[in-house]
Amino acid sequence: MSENKEPPETCLGEDRIRVKPQIRYLGIILDGRLSFKPHVDYLRGKVERNVSYLSRILPNLFGPGYRVRKLYSAVINAMVMYGAPVWAKYIGKKGLATLITVQRPIALRVARAYRTTPTDMLFAIAGMVSYKWQAAAWYRIYRETKDIREAGEALTVQCKDNVRNRQFSIAMDRWKEQLKKCNIRGRPFMRAIINNWEAWVTTGPANLTYRITQLMSGHGCFASYLKRIGARRNDRCIECMEVRDSAIHTVFVCKAFDRQKDELEVAMGERLSINSIVKAVADGKRKCKAVQKFAKDVMQEKEENDREDERNDRIRQNRKWRRKKARKREEKKLWTKMMDDTYEMEEE
């Protein structure tokens, strides 16, 4: 066996033609085995670079509203879905897993969620269909329109729209079924969102605020969450000094927020439940405004109480200092990586 690992060459007259493992054709990277792994890797790099820039202009607490966030996510979407009818069928489980990794940071920007939010819950809150099902829909749209054309039938704009709407509706249903199979124990808001899926994806995410996402994901200023990420020593509620503090405890049990709960019940005109809150947010009208105000008032008060608790607790202060130092180290690493990317782009 030859030890030479150089790619084989052939000659055409005086021109030397080198055989390459992959080629780029019309924006899609084709490889010898048609695994489309190089294309998925290329997409990953491209999207990660763009999302890291977007993250700086789309902070969770302030920054543009849902329409702008959705527009940016649609741009990235179009970037990823380019050529999907060609590669969707061949990328395999690994490729699909990579696509989910790519989509996650975009969903975080749309839903204004913490980085610790589990992926399935994040996609449910953001009302986003996974790239897997979107790619499958584009593949079927291509097949169906091709069949119509080959059958000699007229492919009108109306006909194309019908095919597209039907296939995206199928993708949405399949994604819903997949979300149902995820672990929704202990995630009551996610269950309620899936139960009201059609209403939620139509208008729900547009009415999300940073505070509502915190309540729905349980990833916010709740003692059980803070304990889990090592920011607090116990999970006791500092407002009522009872039981385990969580989003459910805050909304339905905690005595400290009885006034806000009563106001919300009056505004909603019905008894407070997880389902009624999800429906109110999806509804987007007066009831939604009441939920937004409730979430803001309650979460701001909880954060203020938490800061007060921290000021009185030397051990927590030290922990916070250590976390801040770790975060700065991470930011410095990211910044160095971004600078490297910029130089690479300039060289290109």
15 DSSP β-pair partners:
12
User: Residue count at the site for Zn ion (CB under 5 A)?
Assistant: 4
What tokens were used for 147? Answer: 């069949």
What tokens were used for 295? Answer: 């979430």
Burial environment of residue 204 by CB neighbours within 10 A (0 to 12, 13 to 18, 19 or more): buried
Residue 133 or 257: which CB sits closer to Zn ion? Answer: 257
Nearest distance from C-beta of residue 239 to Zn ion, angstroms: 4
Taking a C-beta distance cutoff of 8 angstroms, is the pair 136, 80 a contact?
Answer: no
**240 contacts Zn ion (rule: CB under 5 A):** yes
Q: Which of 40, 237, 274, 281 binds Zn ion (CB under 5 A)?
A: 237
What tokens were used for 202? Answer: 């139509």
Nearest distance from C-beta of residue 237 to Zn ion, angstroms: 3
Q: Which of 239, 268, 302, 306 binds Zn ion (CB under 5 A)?
A: 239
**159 contacts Zn ion (rule: CB under 5 A):** no
Nearest distance from C-beta of residue 306 to Zn ion, angstroms: 12
Q: Which of 128, 223, 254, 274 binds Zn ion (CB under 5 A)?
A: 254
Tell the residue number behind the tokens 């066996």, with chain if given: 1
Residue 239 or 306: which CB sits closer to Zn ion? Answer: 239
Query: Among the candidate windows 8-16, 38-46, 202-210, 248-256, which touches Zn ion by CB under 5 A?
Result: 248-256
Nearest distance from C-beta of residue 275 to Zn ion, angstroms: 22
Residue 206 or 256: which CB sits closer to Zn ion? Answer: 256
Burial 30-66 (b: 16+ CB within 10 A, else e): beeeeebbbbbebbbeebebbbeebeeebebeeeeee
- CA–CA dist 104, 94 (Å, integer): 16
Provide the binding-site residues for Zn ion, judged by CB under 5 A: 237, 239-240, 254
